[in-house]
């Protein structure tokens, strides 16, 4: 340790126990002084960190659970407000909602917990959680598909999933695999089905004022 890092303080607790305060990352100056290759020390240090990291010890489960719970409470109040105004809710997620009414002015902004208008929607297909297609007023489309490549899907496939009750197969990046002559640079793809869900989402929507709102999150 003393050959790679800055030692700030040390105390002898017993014959074979010491309390040492040191900087966590290697020092280039100290490595050079001890004749060590700084780049190699850094790489080895990083490799050791990754290999020993089985979980994130600095994450509070209670805090993450509370954040999710308060987000749901906040979104529930937004839902009630929309329904009280006579609006319809076509889809919602943790930080977004698709409806056919304007939100109140005090709910729109760049502050944390407020919303911004993400898309004006001409037509939409909602297949399951985090799997939907929005055909926008400007002619573009926005596709989300949990677990697979969104860019490999087109609106027609969502229409097929909706009307024909069929699954669509698309590619999912899984992991690197060796290839002949160039080990480790190959990429393995496999086909994964997107099931048509039986959830309570509006399956197809094309009201005149459909819009997607997302949390500003600033």
Q: Three-state secondary structure along the chain? A: CCCCCCEEEEEEEECCEEEEEECCCCCHHHHHHCCCCHHHHHHHHHHHHHHHCCCCCCCCHHHHHHHHHHHHHHHHHHHHHHHHCCCCEEEECCCEEEECCCCCHHHECCCCCCEEEEEEEEEEEEEECCEEEEEECCCCEEEEECCCCHHHCCHHHHHHHHHCCCCEEEEEEEEEECCCCCCCCEEEEEEEEECCCCCCCCCEECCCCCEEEEECCC
Which tops the pLDDT comparison, 210 or 175?
210
Q: Is residue 2 part of a domain?
A: no
Instruction: Using pLDDT thresholds of 50, 70 and 90, give the confidence band for residue 97.
Output: confident
Q: Is residue 135 part of a domain?
A: yes
Instruction: Using pLDDT thresholds of 50, 70 and 90, give the confidence band for residue 131.
Output: confident
* Residue 56, pLDDT score: 56
Q: Is residue 155 part of a domain?
A: yes
Cα dihedral 67→68→70→73 (10° resolution) = 170
Contact between 167 and 148 (Cβ < 8 Å):
no
| Model confidence pLDDT, tens digit, residues 20-65 | 888 888 888 888 888 888 888 887 876 665 555 555 556 778 888 8
| Model confidence pLDDT, tens digit, residues 183-195 | 333 333 333 334 4
Q: Which domain holds residue 202?
A: 61-176+186-215
Q: Is residue 137 part of a domain?
A: yes
Task: Judge if 192 and 114 occupy the same domain.
Answer: yes
Task: Judge if 45 and 27 occupy the same domain.
Answer: yes
Task: Judge if 97 and 25 occupy the same domain.
Answer: no
Task: Judge if 205 and 124 occupy the same domain.
Answer: yes
Task: Judge if 143 and 193 occupy the same domain.
Answer: yes
The predicted model gives 89-105 an average pLDDT of 85
Task: Judge if 209 and 117 occupy the same domain.
Answer: yes
* Residue 163, pLDDT score: 63
The predicted model gives 141-170 an average pLDDT of 67
Q: Is residue 181 part of a domain?
A: no
Q: Is residue 204 part of a domain?
A: yes
Task: Judge if 113 and 206 occupy the same domain.
Answer: yes
Task: Judge if 120 and 100 occupy the same domain.
Answer: yes
Q: Is residue 1 part of a domain?
A: no
Which tops the pLDDT comparison, 208 or 138?
138
The predicted model gives 121-141 an average pLDDT of 82
Task: Judge if 14 and 106 occupy the same domain.
Answer: no
* Residue 71, pLDDT score: 86
* Residue 165, pLDDT score: 59
Task: Judge if 78 and 168 occupy the same domain.
Answer: yes
Task: Judge if 123 and 92 occupy the same domain.
Answer: yes
* Residue 180, pLDDT score: 43
């Amino acid at each position: 340790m003393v050959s790679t890092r800055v030692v700030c303080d040390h105390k002898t607790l017993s014959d074979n126990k010491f309390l040492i305060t040191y900087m966590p990352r290697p020092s280039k100056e100290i490595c050079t002084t001890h004749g060590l290759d700084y780049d190699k020390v850094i790489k080895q240090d990083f490799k050791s960190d990754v290999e020993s990291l089985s979980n994130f010890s600095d994450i509070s489960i209670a805090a993450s659970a509370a954040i999710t719970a308060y987000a749901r409470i906040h979104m529930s109040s937004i839902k009630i407000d929309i329904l009280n105004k006579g609006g319809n809710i076509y889809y919602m997620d943790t930080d977004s909602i698709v409806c056919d009414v304007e939100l109140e002015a005090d709910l729109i902004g760049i502050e944390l917990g407020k919303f911004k208008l993400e898309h004006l929607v001409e037509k939409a297909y909602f297949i399951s959680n985090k799997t939907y297609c929005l055909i926008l007023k400007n002619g573009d489309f926005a596709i989300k598909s949990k677990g697979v490549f969104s860019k490999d899907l087109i609106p027609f496939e969502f229409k097929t999933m909706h009307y024909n009750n069929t699954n669509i197969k698309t590619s999912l990046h899984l992991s690197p695999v060796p290839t002949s002559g160039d080990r480790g640079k190959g990429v393995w793809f496999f086909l994964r089905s997107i099931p048509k869900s039986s959830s309570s989402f509006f399956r197809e929507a094309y009201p005149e004022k459909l819009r997607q709102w997302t949390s500003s999150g600033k």
